[in-house]
Structure 1
Amino acid sequence: MPAVFTSHALSRSGRLAGVIAFAALASTAQSAFAADAAMRVLNAPGSLIMEGPGTKRVDIQVAPQAGAGTNLVATLYRYDEDGKPSDTPVTTYQASASGGKASFNVAIPAYGLYLLDTKLQSAGGSGAELKINMAAITAGGAGFTDAGVITHFGQHKGNPAVVLPLVKKAGFNWIRDELYWSEVEKTAGNFSFPADYTNYVTQAAKLNLKPLIILDYSNRKAYPNLLKGPQGFPVNQQERDLFVRYAQKLVGMYGKQVKHWEVWNEPAFGKVTYENYAALLKDVYPAIKKVSPDSTVISCGGGGAGGGPGGDCIVALIKAGVLDYQDGFSIHPYMSPHDPDSGYPAKGAPVNPVNIPNVWPHLARMMNANPREGHGKLKVWITEIGWPSSPQSAGLSEPSQAANIARTYLLSRRYDEATEGVFWYDFVDDGVDPNNKESNFGMLRADLTPKPAYVAASVVMKTLGARKWARALIDSRDVKVYQYGTDNPVYVGWQTGSSENAASVQIPPGKYTQRDWQGATSTVTVPSGGFQWQLGALPKYLTPAGQSN
């Protein structure tokens, strides 16, 4: 990994300190959404994300001491083309706040992301304020078959019955999670499976979400005299045998519902060593295949803490002669705070700069040059990539996160020769501190209200569906206009800057439906000779009028 490689690079054990739980809407992931403790939303978590426009009753609890004559005023704003709440309100509601509760029937007029700004008002002036995000997302569509998100059910966080439908609703088809060794074998030789583990795997299967499960980590609780090496990684035959038994028990328990397994997460190869990792692969791979022959076993666990854009783990395992002991490799190519189009400079690295247009083709060339005998070309899994939404002092924001998630999936489809799946880290914020970068990688806040990233991702998933990249109309440093699909094309455009600029685009003349980053539609007539398309950091989409997605 080059020294300049940027990443959030925090070990999963460190992330365990994060808290994912339903909190009052007063506790949100951005300081602008901070609210007085005297107010909170009573709606069920996740229920403010609607499939399509409509009316939603919003119930708000206020301090019991709110006396007669105290009102709650709620102003509805739609987010604008730059991913920020508009200055112009859609409408305003008012209800009595006496009695400790106020309710509004909020009419969401069109697809998109909305902010409901609620304020207590009394004869003495304004009081507490609570800001609430609501969304009407595009319904239908098969979503991206190669897109997934990171969930934290293995850490006993979140309710699968609430969270997983939101994953599916956005158009994702995969989740990546864990079934910890220390949780299923709490005492030596005695295996039991926590009910919430079985619950999330079962819930995912019911929704046709495919789980990618990580086999991790050490288990010093059950074996206090063993596993004393770096990260508790198995480094001798006795320890490997114990890990293999754990893996077989999991596959035996969940193998009908889980077909994809990843060996460890972000091993610190500088300490663990590739030799020890290769030895574990040689034992665990055939053991999994014996229990579940149609399973896919993925190696590298992200390539080490922070990833490594050149696929260092892949190179090392090929040199170690263990190509036959995995069905694919994974990397974690974090680029934050740089965008996925441009990335960051990496002098001396195998690719420079590090960005999706360089790294994905580089990995494809590696796979083409190193096929597995009798198996063919292996695939690379991007099992973690993501951008946080704050702090803004680090050049990050909710609009930039939304642009980066959309462009990550659009570019990955553009350069998909080697990649099998791309998993966004992560689905729900790990905390509520607006100044902690690690707490803000989610596309939903900790209370399961939507950020712009959730809405932007849903539009990519539902608009493109299974369409493959067809051609580039513009592929400059600053402007991208791509066609996806041939018989039913979708044209997608964006620019890497933050402001909007016009790009001259040549597509067949006729009427088109334009969809913005949050799903709002308008009609565009393209004359012969093309048109000037106003593009910004958040992608826009054009489909021929009357064409279904």
Structure 2
Amino acid sequence: MFAGRIASCLTTSMRVLLLSAVALWCAGVPTVLGAELTLNVNNPAGSLIAQRAGDMKIEFGIPPQEKTGSAMLRTSLLRYDGDGALVSDPIASYQQAVTLTRQSVNATVSITIPRAGLFLVDATLLSENGKAVASKRVNVAAMSPRGRSSFPDFGVVTHFAQGKGAPEVLLPLVKSAGFSWIRDEIYWDHIEQKPGVFVFPKDYDAYLNRASKLGISPLIVLAYGNAKAYPELFGAEQSFPDSPEARRFFVRYVDEVVRRYGQMVTHWEVWNEPAFARLGYAGYVALLKPVYMQIKERSPQATVISCGGGGAGGGPGGDCLLEMSKSGALDYQDAFSVHPYMSPHIPETGYPTAGGPIASVSIPTAWPYLVQLTGQHPRTDGRRVQLWITELGWPSSPASAALDPTSQAAYLVRSYLLSRRYAGVTVMFWYDFVDDGNDPSNQEDNFGMLRNDLSPKPAYVASAVLNATLGSRKWHSALVDDENVKVFQYGNSEPVIVGWTTANTARVVSVQVPAGKYVQRDWQGAESQVTADGAGLKWRLGPLPSYLLPEAVVR
């Protein structure tokens, strides 16, 4: 209220300047009102993530300056520690003379990344008298040289159908982070803009072909309404096909899509977050049945996923599956999906429910409940309907959700570990890969593992290390499993032990492991040697999971 009253007294230009300063402050950039504040980073897309440690070039764009002359570009390279905190002492510093002009100029700085992990490049442009003229802070990363593997049960949401990002840039980064699935769309009104005329944009071919070549499996959402071709049937861009004629046209669109892409795509999700409260489950089932039959006629081995995440805004429970069972519609799906968002709550405890079938929406409660439902409600052929989590994520913006990039990384890794701990989920998709925008106060702009400029967040590096370390190992046993500490073993013959705390503080935990030599690996891939005797191992754990591997497994 007080801030709003102040804002009402400001001129438009003052508001713009103040909001820009606040945004930069949230990003950790020092600000001086009235000055040119931001250097641009002009690197090619994706080049801020290197596939190995070593030299990296950062090209800074210096904005036009009113005061021209000699200047100095001072650049520091800072590291993040095992808890995800930025260490203020630089590990390297660089200085480069530049000339300020009334036109934009570029300055390229060569830095050396000493090891795998996440780093911060902190650049400040100093005028001849030593005054800060402009600055920029940007994350860079070097990936671990350890053998990488793809998680068979984990994916990430992309937005290629929305024109966000180049597949030739982003899909190799998806692969490098260890994901074996992407979830994207093929919009009806993009391919049939005139009735009965189907034209597939090159963008769709591009991202599906690229994914196929990289061995990444796509899950494609079939949606939405088509007011372009059929304005009399669809009053809004995403209106649901709720008449026999609209459903017939939708099924024809589905058939054309499967006809074209059925060799590359074998997993289809029918709609995204249907507004069940408005259209009713019967309306959704009336569409699901003919869509299922048409897909199976064209591609008998395809997997058809119902529920679209569980309703408008997502859904944590099995309401949709139960309604499908009541409607006799289980035979018209191979799987169903939910979107059990929990932000800002942690994945171990989630948030409490009131009057629901489970006490809270969390991975330890929701996953077993949903798996139980699939066992209690099989198809008439006896097959269990698969459970898919097609969206789950936490934003990284303190201004929008009281979270930060380090917490986001911790919750990402812990969600995947817990999902495998409680089993039963065929594939889980993180929402999403790249930030949708740059507004720190907008949650929707901050769900990505990469920022909008494709610079890495901690979540990207942590995901890559998780995938490379855990691989396809299944959950084996719990060494510690209480409210505050989790220490789980994955795999048996070549075990990986993973531990973390659920609170935002670190603590030392005694863990009983066989005597011997181990390698401890943190969220960035940094390693240290530890030895366990028969009395157990004293292990310092924090919110970001750490890994313990027998020395023989690492070699």
Q: After TM superposition, is the score higher than 0.5?
A: yes
Shift of 1:58: 1.6
Matched, 1:271 2:278: yes
The separation in 2 between residues aligned to 1:88 and 1:40, in whole angstroms, is 24
The residue type paired with residue 70 of structure 1 is: A
Shift of 1:377: 1.4
Name the stretch that deviates more: 204-213 or 29-38: 29-38
Alignment map for 1:205-354 (pairs within 5 Å): 205-228=212-235, 231-354=238-361
Query: Could you give the per-residue CA deviations for residues 385-437 of structure 1, whole angstroms, max 9, x where no partner exists?
Result: 00000134632111110111010101011111x21001011100011011111
Asked whether the 8 Å contact 1:114–1:135 carries over to 2, the reply is yes
SS at match of 2:194: coil
Counterpart for residue 173 of structure 1: 180
Query: Could you give the per-residue CA deviations for residues 266-290 of structure 1, whole angstroms, max 9, x where no partner exists?
Result: 0010111100111111111010011
The residue type paired with residue 111 of structure 2 is: V
Counterpart for residue 10 of structure 2: none
SS at match of 2:58: strand
What is the total number of aligned residue pairs between the two structures?
A: 523
The separation in 1 between residues aligned to 2:192 and 2:310, in whole angstroms, is 27
Counterpart for residue 147 of structure 1: 154
Asked whether the 8 Å contact 2:436–2:446 carries over to 1, the reply is yes
Query: Could you give the per-residue CA deviations for residues 150-188 of structure 1, whole angstroms, max 9, x where no partner exists?
Result: 111111111111111110010000000000000010011
Asked whether the 8 Å contact 1:29–1:434 carries over to 2, the reply is no
The separation in 2 between residues aligned to 1:229 and 1:368, in whole angstroms, is 38
Counterpart for residue 477 of structure 2: 471
Name the stretch that deviates more: 482-491 or 151-160: 151-160
Asked whether the 8 Å contact 1:75–1:92 carries over to 2, the reply is yes
Counterpart for residue 27 of structure 2: 31
Shift of 1:240: 1.1
Matched, 1:505 2:511: yes
Asked whether the 8 Å contact 1:510–1:525 carries over to 2, the reply is yes
The separation in 1 between residues aligned to 2:335 and 2:140, in whole angstroms, is 39
Counterpart for residue 84 of structure 1: 85
Name the stretch that deviates more: 28-37 or 214-223: 28-37
Asked whether the 8 Å contact 2:304–2:333 carries over to 1, the reply is yes
The residue type paired with residue 88 of structure 1 is: D
SS at match of 2:61: strand
Counterpart for residue 57 of structure 2: 57
TM-score normalized by the length of structure 2: 0.91
The residue type paired with residue 131 of structure 1 is: R
The residue type paired with residue 348 of structure 2 is: D
Counterpart for residue 11 of structure 1: none
Alignment map for 1:84-233 (pairs within 5 Å): 84-98=85-99, 100-124=105-129, 125-139=131-145, 140-228=147-235, 231-233=238-240
The separation in 2 between residues aligned to 1:495 and 1:113, in whole angstroms, is 22
The separation in 1 between residues aligned to 2:413 and 2:263, in whole angstroms, is 33
SS at match of 1:72: strand
The separation in 1 between residues aligned to 2:286 and 2:178, in whole angstroms, is 38
Shift of 1:28: 8.3
Q: Which residues of structure 2 form unaligned runs of 5+?
A: 1-21
Pick from 409, 429, 436 the counterpart of residue 435 of structure 2.
429
Shift of 1:89: 1.2
Asked whether the 8 Å contact 1:83–1:399 carries over to 2, the reply is yes
Question: Larger relative CO (CA 8 A, sep 6+): 1 or 2?
Answer: 1
The separation in 1 between residues aligned to 2:292 and 2:547, in whole angstroms, is 43
Matched, 1:376 2:383: yes
Counterpart for residue 490 of structure 1: 496
Asked whether the 8 Å contact 1:181–1:217 carries over to 2, the reply is yes
SS at match of 1:88: coil
The separation in 1 between residues aligned to 2:508 and 2:167, in whole angstroms, is 44
The separation in 1 between residues aligned to 2:460 and 2:417, in whole angstroms, is 15
The separation in 2 between residues aligned to 1:356 and 1:541, in whole angstroms, is 21
Counterpart for residue 521 of structure 2: 515
Counterpart for residue 8 of structure 2: none
The separation in 2 between residues aligned to 1:382 and 1:78, in whole angstroms, is 34
Asked whether the 8 Å contact 1:341–1:496 carries over to 2, the reply is yes
Shift of 1:307: 2.4
Shift of 1:373: 2.9
The separation in 2 between residues aligned to 1:225 and 1:143, in whole angstroms, is 46
SS at match of 1:411: helix
Q: Which residues of structure 1 form unaligned runs of 5+?
A: 1-25
The separation in 2 between residues aligned to 1:40 and 1:394, in whole angstroms, is 27
The separation in 2 between residues aligned to 1:468 and 1:29, in whole angstroms, is 43
Shift of 1:459: 1.2
Asked whether the 8 Å contact 2:72–2:128 carries over to 1, the reply is no
The residue type paired with residue 58 of structure 2 is: V
The separation in 1 between residues aligned to 2:234 and 2:109, in whole angstroms, is 57
The separation in 2 between residues aligned to 1:355 and 1:437, in whole angstroms, is 20
